[in-house]
A and B are shown apart, each in its own frame.
Chain A
Amino acid sequence: MKLSGAEIIVRTLIEQGVTDVFGYPGGQILNVYDALYKHRDEINHILTAHEQGASHAADGYSRATGKVGVCIATSGPGATNLVTGIATAMLDSIPMVAITGNVPCSLIGKDSFQEIDITGVTLPITKHNYFVNDVRELADSIREAFSIAKSGRPGPVLIDVPKDVQIAECEWEAQGASPKIPLPKASEDEIDEAVRLISASKRPYIYIGGGAAGLGLGSEIVALAEKINAYIGCSFMGLSAIPDGCERFLGMQGMHGRYPSSMAQNSADLILGVGVRFNDRATGNLQKFAKGATIIQLDPDFAEINKNVRVALGIVADVEDSFRRIAAKLSPADNPEWRATVDSFKREEARLFAAEEEKAAGRLTPKAVLDIINSHKPKGTVLATDVGQHQMWCAQYATFDRPRRIVSSGGLGTMGFGLGAAIGARVATGDTTVLVTGDGSFGMNLNELATCVSHSIPVIIVIMNNGVLGMVRQWQTLFFGKRYSSTVLTDRRTDFVKLAEAFGAVGMRATTREEFESAFVRAVELNDTVVIDTYIDKDEFVLPMLPPGGSIDDIITEKEVSEDE
């Protein structure tokens, strides 16, 4: 049948299985919005307060489900407002399709009103992008975009469509959703080599990354760890891959990793990396990283092998398949010494926790906030975060009962990501969604409270309010002689409770553990958008910490700076 470009866009999205899109209308995307209006029973459009919120929502939607998230914006500022969200998705390999309108082809290149070369702008932050100047190429470009976004190592794809292409007509027939291009399978030799290396090790460490987090391999990884006496750690992006309460799982490693996890990784004689890219925040000083370890890396992206660390064996293939085949061929092994070593790391962590708890003397600490959330959150709760100290505390202390339950910007570290992403995750899953944020991050994009309220998308927002940009302040304390340049926010005097109420949400305040516990329990019951403003000390540190460029030898576990200012 003959359809307009705008109609083709919406119908092709529906054909690709898209049920929800996030966006903001404008002059050069009006035709698409007209088609969305017509198809409003088949595709749910969520109007955000800002295009950036739409891009983060599409990202959060994808992180929570693995589906391709979709966002839509107009030309010019609409398109550039998506940029941070697209870059966030790129750095964390999140499948996303962004559709932008542009000025008609005849006005392209003339610096027309709201014209921007968005394919040029997003070239380095998309997996691929399209400028579609012929309506006959529109449907296939969208189909290809979905295939590229979800295949191999996923990522964002942008499609820019000039207004006249949205108006022009051509023939269109529905097809099935674009297939995910299957990854190659590892050769028998590669699997055997991995098995040989792992069998020869005495202190194996399985290192889980974002490439494995969504695969649902959790219980198999745990089973393998138990069989061969390995311990499991993860990168930030690997959080939620391993189910709660497993004694083999040591938590996140790296700059702000859990003590046992970072120590075990650097004491291991073999690291089996599963979908992990050995980012600088995870390794610290590469010359000193895991010196005694033979490294095996399973990854779908050949460009990640030997990029950051030299590996003994890199298997570029379907990670799930490679892992299962390696696991099946490994024989049981035990090494009491390795267990004793790791147990000593765990004891040290327990000692550190106890010391912190004693110092806290019942105050509301970040760990206490997360312990309370952990014990009162309903099953399947999605935890979204912004970026900064609160994010690292979440990474260290939050528990997850299934994969894809953390929604957080790892690679790009995007402050202001959390609320939009939480909206996307909540829309995608329908599960309780808690955003843990800081007063700094929340201040960046709190306008999306309007989206929560207008679309009845209940998100519980816990602000760890310390009146400072805590992570930057921590660096200033440690490395800049306590010169707190532009990191003090107390002059803002924002009343987050009144702010929540002004947006039509519920506001609560909590200064003690008891108050926070009852506020959080009430928020869960309310099933409404609730902002809980909690107060933590401005001089809380995220510990342990490997200083930037440092190694495990430089690990800081206790705060030793003097308290006077």
Chain B
Amino acid sequence: MNKFVIAVYVDNKFGVLTRVTSMFTRRGFNIDALTVGETECPEYSRITICLSGDGYAREQLINQLRKLHNVKKVVVLKDDSIKRELMLIKVGYDSQTRAEILAASDVYRGKVIDYTTDEMCIEVTGDPSKIDAFIKLMIPYGIIEMCRTGIVALDRGNVTLLDRIKDKTK
């Protein structure tokens, strides 16, 4: 089982995300995470999909995505692509654990964005594995609530996916 990150440019239209996710359900693809948002071009949205699976699953997913009318470009991002995820995590503390949590947050370059008498909310950004590690670190202190955005990712270099849309092949 490998992990893949797939970037998809779709028409920025009502209902397109449903078309994509409904296809996953009906074809039985198991998605780890999915994010969607605006791009440098208002006509298109960019969907970033994380998938665990073998080469067959990856090929099928890409092929089925490419068949959707509103999908303009599908690219498997390279292993060295820039991947980032943001997490908000609320952790309980007391006088003994406060310093430890703050130190850990510092090491992970987290930001404390809310602070009450018995809990603090930390924002952490980074590679998904870094987020996973931070969560593991916080478990003993008592995670009250947490929320991850899922990955956004870009390939390195000055080539954009939009350039590749113009070559007309999905």
Interface residue A303 (Cβ < 8 Å from any Cβ of B): yes
Residues of B participating in the A interface, judged by any CB pair closer than 8 Å = 14-15, 18-19, 22-23, 26, 56, 59-60, 63-64, 66-69
Interface residue A292 (Cβ < 8 Å from any Cβ of B): no
Q: Is the CB of A124 within 8 A of B63?
A: no
* Chain A residue nearest in CB terms to B64: A303
Q: Is the CB of A128 within 8 A of B66?
A: no
A137 vs chain B, min Cβ distance (A): 11
Q: Which of B18, B56, B59, B66 contacts A123 (CB 8 A)?
A: B18
Q: Which 8 A-B pairs have the closest CB atoms?
A: A303-B63, A128-B69, A124-B26, A123-B22, A303-B67, A302-B63, A303-B64, A124-B22
Q: Is the CB of B22 within 8 A of A303?
A: no
Instruction: Give the distance in Å from the alpha carbon of A306 to the alpha carbon of B26 in the complex.
Output: 19
Instruction: Give the distance in Å from the alpha carbon of A301 to the alpha carbon of B66 in the complex.
Output: 10
Q: Is the CB of B59 within 8 A of A306?
A: yes
In the complex, besides A120-B18, A128-B69, A302-B66, 5 extra interface pairs with C-beta distance below 8 angstroms are A124-B23, A127-B69, A303-B60, A303-B67, A306-B56
A479 vs chain B, min Cβ distance (A): 26
Interface residue A148 (Cβ < 8 Å from any Cβ of B): yes
Residues of A participating in the B interface, judged by any CB pair closer than 8 Å = 119-120, 123-124, 127-128, 131, 148, 301-303, 306-307
* Chain B residue nearest in CB terms to A144: B69
Q: Which residues of A contact B68 (CB under 8 A)?
A: 128
Q: Which residues of A contact B59 (CB under 8 A)?
A: 306
Q: Which of A119, A123, A131, A307 contacts B60 (CB 8 A)?
A: A307
Instruction: Give the distance in Å from the alpha carbon of A120 to the alpha carbon of B17 in the complex.
Output: 12
- For this complex, 7 residue pairs linking A to B, each with C-beta atoms less than 8 Å apart, are A123-B18, A123-B19, A128-B69, A131-B14, A303-B60, A303-B63, A307-B63
Classify the interface of chain B: helix, strand, loop or mixed.
helix
Among B14, B56, B63, find the residue whose CB has the most chain A CB atoms closer than 10 A: B63
Q: Is the CB of B15 within 8 A of A119?
A: yes
Q: Which residues of B contact A302 (CB under 8 A)?
A: 63, 66
Q: Which residues of B contact A123 (CB under 8 A)?
A: 18-19, 22
Instruction: Give the distance in Å from the alpha carbon of A127 to the alpha carbon of B71 in the complex.
Output: 13
Instruction: Give the distance in Å from the alpha carbon of A120 to the alpha carbon of B23 in the complex.
Output: 12
Q: Is the CB of A303 within 8 A of B26?
A: no
Instruction: Give the distance in Å from the alpha carbon of A135 to the alpha carbon of B36 in the complex.
Output: 29
Instruction: Give the distance in Å from the alpha carbon of A490 to the alpha carbon of B156 in the complex.
Output: 71
Instruction: Give the distance in Å from the alpha carbon of A16 to the alpha carbon of B64 in the complex.
Output: 29
Instruction: Give the distance in Å from the alpha carbon of A120 to the alpha carbon of B19 in the complex.
Output: 9
Q: Which residues of B contact A131 (CB under 8 A)?
A: 14-15
Q: Which residues of A contact B19 (CB under 8 A)?
A: 123
* Chain B residue nearest in CB terms to A120: B18
Q: Which residues of A contact B64 (CB under 8 A)?
A: 303
Q: Which residues of B contact A306 (CB under 8 A)?
A: 56, 59
* Chain A residue nearest in CB terms to B56: A306
Instruction: Give the distance in Å from the alpha carbon of A60 to the alpha carbon of B96 in the complex.
Output: 77
* Chain A residue nearest in CB terms to B70: A128
Instruction: Give the distance in Å from the alpha carbon of A354 to the alpha carbon of B165 in the complex.
Output: 62
Instruction: Give the distance in Å from the alpha carbon of A127 to the alpha carbon of B70 in the complex.
Output: 11
A401 vs chain B, min Cβ distance (A): 35
Q: Is the CB of B67 within 8 A of A301?
A: yes
